[in-house]
């Protein structure tokens, strides 16, 4: 399991990226989207990533099977925030709960400096205990709580902002 390969995503990967993303929506644990998104709706998001400063990686196992994807997205468009990125990790349904998240997040921490990243932030629902546990395991601290900012199936949900200074 420890032998994962990270490669830059290409436009041909967008179908798989969206399929993995859509597979998380029903749980109401990971994303504030409540209906599946289309590939077309994610093209602009895809194009906002680049291998130099805002990578979007496909993660594959030793057999070349896609385990999931991970991205660094701009935290805010204003230049003073350019050293802070939001990290997002999405795993294929068959790969969740197997420890891949730890390997992927460690890779992100180890490589963040190559992209001019000073701070990594993660936006995680307060009721998403597995993700909170994962990020806290790596020393991410609570940087804020946005109380009851999302409504999922009529239930108000709070969002945690976790952060880690890399440099």
Euclidean distance between CA atoms 8 and 16, whole angstroms: 14
Euclidean distance between CA atoms 160 and 151, whole angstroms: 15
Query: Angle 129-137/100-111 helices, nearest 10 degrees?
Result: 50
Task: Look at residues 140, 88, 76, 84 and name the one whose alpha carbon lies nearest to residue 115.
Answer: 84
At 83, phi and psi to the nearest 5? -85, 0
pLDDT recorded at residue 26: 63
* pLDDT of 91 strictly over 60: yes
pLDDT recorded at residue 16: 95
CB 139 within 8 A of CB 162: no
* pLDDT of 1 strictly over 60: no
Q: Read off the pLDDT band of 134 (50, 70, 90).
A: very high
- The residue count of the chain comes to 167
Q: Read off the pLDDT band of 108 (50, 70, 90).
A: very high
Cα-Cα-Cα-Cα torsion 72, 23, 162, 138, nearest 10 degrees, comes to -80
pTM for the full predicted model: 0.92
The burial of 35, by beta-carbon neighbours within 10 Å (0-12 exposed, 13-18 middle, 19 or more buried), is given as: exposed
CATH number for region 5-124: 3.40.630.30
Strand partners, 124: 160
User: Which helix H or strand E contains 111, and what residues bound it?
Assistant: helix 100-111
Tokens 């001019």 found at: 116
pLDDT recorded at residue 30: 64
- For the chain, the structural domain boundaries read 5-124
Kindly calculate the radius of gyration of the chain based on its CA atoms and give it in whole angstroms: 15
Summarize the confidence of residues 103-114 as an average pLDDT: 97
**Using one digit for the tens of pLDDT, what is the confidence trace for 149-160?**
998 888 899 999
């Amino acid at each position: 399991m420890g032998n994962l390969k990270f490669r830059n995503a290409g436009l041909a990967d967008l179908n798989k990226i969206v399929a993995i993303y859509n597979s998380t929506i029903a749980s109401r644990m990971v994303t504030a989207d409540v209906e599946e998104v289309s590939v077309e709706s994610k093209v602009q998001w895809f194009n906002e990533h680049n291998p130099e400063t805002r990578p979007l990686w496909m993660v594959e196992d030793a057999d070349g099977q896609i385990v999931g994807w991970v991205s660094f997205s701009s935290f805010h468009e204003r230049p003073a925030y350019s050293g802070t990125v939001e990290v997002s990790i999405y795993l294929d349904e068959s790969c969740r709960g197997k420890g891949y998240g730890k390997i992927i997040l460690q890779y992100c921490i180890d490589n963040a400096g190559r992209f001019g990243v000073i701070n990594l932030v993660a936006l995680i629902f307060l009721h998403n205990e597995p993700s909170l546990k994962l990020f806290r395991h790596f020393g991410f601290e609570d940087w804020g709580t946005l109380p009851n900012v999302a409504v999922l199936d009529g239930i108000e949900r709070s969002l945690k902002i976790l952060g880690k200074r890399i440099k």
